[in-house]
Amino acid sequence: MRVLITGAAGLLGRQAAKEYTARGFDVYALNKKELDISIYTSIKMAHINIRPHLVINCAAFTNVDRAETEKEEAFTINGLGPRLLAAACRRHNSTLVQISTDHVFNGQSKSPYLISDPPDPVNLYGASKLMGEQGVRESGCRYYIIRTSWLFGPGGKNFACAILKLARENSAIKVVNDQQGCPTYAPDLARGIADLVQTGIHGAYHYTNTGATSKYDFARKIIDTAGLKTEVEPCRTSQFPRPARRPACSVLNPFPIQHVLGYTPPTWEDAVEKMGKELKAPVVT
Ligand SMILES: NC(=O)c1ccc[n+]([C@@H]2O[C@H](COP(=O)([O-])OP(=O)(O)OC[C@H]3O[C@@H](n4cnc5c(N)ncnc54)[C@H](OP(=O)(O)O)[C@@H]3O)[C@@H](O)[C@H]2O)c1
């Protein structure tokens, strides 16, 4: 089975390529230069050359703050791109996995968001990702839409790596304690995607590591696991104004993914420990 992975140089793209390669699939992991998801001819050529059975779209415009000012680019990549991929999948009878985000919700809910809850994007990044979801749903292709949140993993730009860098360079750091969500370890998500696709039970899902936390407690766990002594001071989101709003509480209710997978994803604490071990492990070349 041939698997095409877009955005393969990114955090999730790298892990998805690793997971599918380990499972023995024919993996075509393409970076932005090799396949630009906002250009239909680029997608068509990839389909003609590779003839994939499965397309995993890990490509996205992921800079949440920049999306507020670079609106057109964000909507072209996150909104139009998935629609174009879905059209090609429909035409060539391949299955599409589209990754989406907790930012499609406004973060005001007191209870975890269900897959059936009405979206209300908290910022323009969320609005652009919601447009991408809609394009996939309307396309008529076979799809999985998988919303995730607080993605982290070894390498690349993500919260865990940013916290580790800050903690190594400073004796004390401040982290917001009024944002709640679910961390998601990219290798766990990659495994979840591959397991879900194997079931053939298409549709929309939420996948995160199990358990919710605050950014503050998440940072503390990352720092403790790395054996660093950096002090972590709690602060409020209002003390760090950013161009894009962040959801105050974007905990995603996992139902029904555990039922479909037949297992519960690892807890976020276990996931942080796994990352700690991976970062300490010697690099094998
Ligand atoms: N990171 C999170 O916390 C988070 C949370 C929830 C959901 N998600 C979603 O999870 C998915 C994976 O995110 P990630 O953290 O792995 O993102 P990432 O590390 O930023 O990777 C995204 C990749 O897409 C590439 N890309 C950008 N525009 C493209 C285009 N037009 N065509 C092809 N490739 C393009 C980027 O290349 P350049 O770097 O060269 O632009 C980058 O390599 C995305 O759908 C994202 O929206 C992420």
Q: Are 103 and 121 in contact (CB under 8 A)?
A: yes
Question: Model confidence at 211, in pLDDT bands (50, 70, 90)?
Answer: very high
**Percent of the chain, pLDDT > 70?**
98
Q: How far is the CA of 225 from the centre of ligand 1 (A)?
A: 26
pLDDT band at 280 (very low <50, low <70, confident <90, very high): confident
Provide the pLDDT for residue 284: 54
Mean pLDDT along residues 212-221? 98
Write down the residue that tokens 């994939």 correspond to: 52
* Average pLDDT of the segment spanning 149-167: 93
Report how far apart, in Å, the C-alpha atoms of 10 and of each of 45, 100, 138, 256 are: 22, 15, 27, 27
Give domain limits for the chain: 2-280
For ligand 1, pick from 62, 149, 151, 218 the residue to mutate: most ligand atoms within 8 Å of CB: 62
Mean pLDDT of 110-135: 98
Residue from 20, 28, 125, 216 carrying the catalytic annotation: 125
Taking the C-alpha atoms of residue 224 and residue 29, their distance in angstroms, rounded to an integer, is 34
CATH number of 2-280: 3.40.50.720
* Position 282 pLDDT exceeds 70: no
Q: Is 11 in the pocket of ligand 1 (CB under 6 A)?
A: yes
What's the per-residue H, E or C state across 165-177? HHHHHCCEEEEEC
The pair of three-digit structure tokens given for residue 58, joined into one six-digit string:
């890990």
Separation between Cα atoms, residue 43 and residue 86, nearest integer Å: 10
Mean pLDDT of all residues in 178-182 = 97
Q: Spell out the alpha helix ranges (H) of 115-267.
A: 124-139, 159-169, 186-199, 215-225, 257-261
pLDDT band per the 50, 70, 90 thresholds, residue 145: very high
The per-residue pLDDT for range 24-66, each reduced to its tens digit, is 999 999 999 999 999 999 999 999 999 999 999 999 999 999 9
Q: Each residue of 224-262: pLDDT tens digit? A: 999 999 999 999 999 988 999 999 999 999 999 999 999
Number of CB atoms found within 10 A of residue 168's CB = 11
Classified as helix, coil or strand, 24 is coil
| 110 pLDDT more than 70 | yes
How far apart (Å, rounded) are the C-alpha atoms in residues 141 and 146? 15
Average pLDDT, the chain: 96
* Residue 72, both tokens: 């057109």
Task: Let me know the angle formed at the C-alpha of 265 by 263 and 268, rounded to the nearest 5 degrees.
Answer: 155
Assess whether 185 carries a catalytic annotation.
no
Amino acid 285: pLDDT: 47
Index of the ligand 1 atom closest to the CA of residue 157: 19
Rg (CA), the chain: 18
Question: Which residue has a Cα nearest atom 37 of ligand 1?
Answer: 32
CA atoms within 13 A on the CB side of 262: 5
Res 156: pLDDT? 76
pLDDT at 160 over 70: yes
Distance between CA 257 and CA 146 in Å, rounded? 10
Cis peptide preceding 183, ω within 30 of 0: no
